Amino acid sequence: MLHESMRSRDGSAGSEPASDSPSVSQPSADAGAHADAVVDVEVLKRYIGDDAEAIAEFLTEFRKSVLHHAVELEQGVVAQDVLKVSRTSHTLKSTARAAGATAFGNVLAELETAAQRHDLEVIDRYYQEFRRLLPLVLARLNALVPAP
């Protein structure tokens, strides 16, 4: 069932972002201030249409994908396995962008690029940003489609 907040633009996204986060295409400071900047359902609608049931289904699928790939990404970063970091961030990047989590997708794009360059320092910097955005994205998804 689609949560009512999916139709409104005033949902809460959770805690304020850290002030020293790296800059990405969308200013991360906006992410906490506006829930839609964390996961903008209007973006998803452009890909799948305005059917509430389908939107709920895709947001649920996105949440599953985030949870799965977050674990993979952590494993990759800890093991300094740049191939794993690159592949995981690559896959989740497109999914995040389709689901309307644009800033999250942009951070994943930066992670993918850093991993392709074997730049562990930049990987670490963007992984911290990923970890900062992760709870915001999940909180927003839970507000839109309550977890089972």
Residues in contact with other proteins, total (CB under 8 A)?
19
The stretch near other proteins (CB under 8 A) out of 17-25, 28-36, 55-63, 119-127 is 55-63
**Interaction pattern, residues 27-46, with other proteins; x per rule: CB under 8 A:** -------------------x
Query: C-beta of 8: minimal distance to other proteins in Å?
Result: 24
Report the site for other proteins in 61-80 (rule: CB under 8 A). 61-62, 64-65
CB-based contact 144:39 (threshold 8 Å): yes
DSSP annotation of 5 reads G
Q: What are phi and psi of 12, to 5 degrees?
A: -90, 145
Footprint on residues 98-117 left by other proteins (CB under 8 A): 98-99
Question: Nearer to other proteins by C-beta: 6 or 17?
Answer: 6
Q: Is there binding between residue 47 and other proteins (CB under 8 A)?
A: yes
Token reading at 120 = 């562990």
Token code pair at residue 63: 């949440």
Task: Note whether 94 and 105 are within 8 A (CB).
Answer: yes
Residue whose structure tokens are 């940003």: 129
**What is the distance between the alpha carbons of residues 108 and 82, in angstroms, rounded to a whole number?**
13
Instruction: Tell me the closest approach of the beta carbon of residue 112 to other proteins, in angstroms.
Output: 8
Query: CA-CA distance, 85 to 80, in Å (whole number)?
Result: 8
Interface ranges with other proteins (CB under 8 A): 46-49, 54, 58, 61-62, 64-65, 87, 90-91, 93-95, 97-99
